[in-house]
Structure 1
């Protein structure tokens, strides 16, 4: 069963909290605690089970509108048994795919949100960063007078020297940049994960006013 949200998860900007409350819903997902003894028997450290439990309690069941890349991102946020080893670190599922994509959405050893296919590719330093990026894409698409898509090697031609990074998305493979009248989202995660440079994509949201550039995160934004 799905429920409308009355409270957004903590740690988000005003813009992202509004986006989650206005457009998100909460789905029923199982509690992790019922798997604890089984996972311990599999050799999964207790600290990793605690990490999965915390993720499920904070984010589990959150359903957001589709992201503009990665075929929409996870259908909803949910988790499963951790994968990995003490030497390599541990990953766990962030949520099931909406469509058949050649990677899984995962949470990394340091809490990064990313994709795991041919290799592990962290997209954002935090889950909050992913949610912020989806919220910012929705916001920018509402305010932009023009949206331009750039792919492959043409992404290198974008002149971003005078732009500043949008810090709230905590970008790693994927980054957002703010200029004088535009926002630019650069999606390099698929290219890195699949060793496919042609998959690099940038979306340029131009013709933004002050609210389009900063709306919802001014005055600290939190």
Structure 2
């Protein structure tokens, strides 16, 4: 294996494993244990440091292709110093932005992947959910016969009757839905984080056969 080729974390779908194997790279990441003593002296609980260390071990240094939203998402996964929020709990950075955006990509108190500015908005219940969403994006773009983009209030007009939510995405603010011959991706996280409803966006990937739907 090329030393920069990404190893594939377990717990991903077959499609996502293939996506990471083909498109992912491993680069440098924060060595959490080098900071443990300093963080303990600053009052950061040992359990929170353990959580950051586990994230770094599993995901640290993993660089994936950009997301169609959030100006591409993190450049690569790398944690940073845990911090508290007035609402309680501990967060830590998931990775630096690819471009200038008014929020950070964070891992929440319960392991959620989300965006944080003046408010915290979890996008997916797990980091795996973000990776699954990315893999679905590239899969759907490859196999769809047509792609329709909807924005702002248009997003609320989508009729999801007969659709089922894609479970591996574990969507919260963002979600994917599978229908008879199409996939629908709905992104509400940026709109909720910035209190900017116009940022709501959806993509409808139509004309998919069984392989295109399921991969």
Q: TM-score range by the shorter chain?
A: over 0.9
After superposition, the C-alpha distances for 1:48-96 in whole angstroms (9 at most, x for unaligned) are: 0000000000000000000111111000000100010697000000000
Aligned to 1:178: 178
Deviation at 1:209, TM superposition (A): 0.6
In the alignment, does 2:156 pair up with 1:156?
A: yes
Aligned to 2:5: 4
Aligned to 2:24: 24
Gaps of 5+ in 1: 216-222
Aligned to 2:129: 129
In the alignment, does 2:71 pair up with 1:71?
A: yes
1:86/1:195 CA distance change after superposition, 3 Å: closer
How many residue pairs were aligned? 214
In the alignment, does 2:146 pair up with 1:143?
A: no
**1:153 match: secondary structure:** helix
Kindly report the root-mean-square deviation, in angstroms, between the aligned alpha carbons of the 2 structures: 1.4
Out of 84-93 and 170-179, give the one that drifted further. 84-93
Deviation at 1:161, TM superposition (A): 2.0
Aligned mates of 1:184, 1:174 — CA distance in 2: 11
Aligned to 1:218: none
Aligned mates of 2:32, 2:211 — CA distance in 1: 41
1:148/1:117 CA distance change after superposition, 3 Å: same
In the alignment, does 2:213 pair up with 1:207?
A: no
Aligned to 2:117: 117
**2:4 match: secondary structure:** strand
Aligned to 1:167: 167
**1:3 match: secondary structure:** coil
Alignment check: 8 A CA contact 2:186 2:201 kept: yes
Gaps of 5+ in 2: none
Aligned to 2:84: 84
**2:92 match: secondary structure:** strand
Larger RCO, structure (CA 8 Å, separation 6 or more): 1
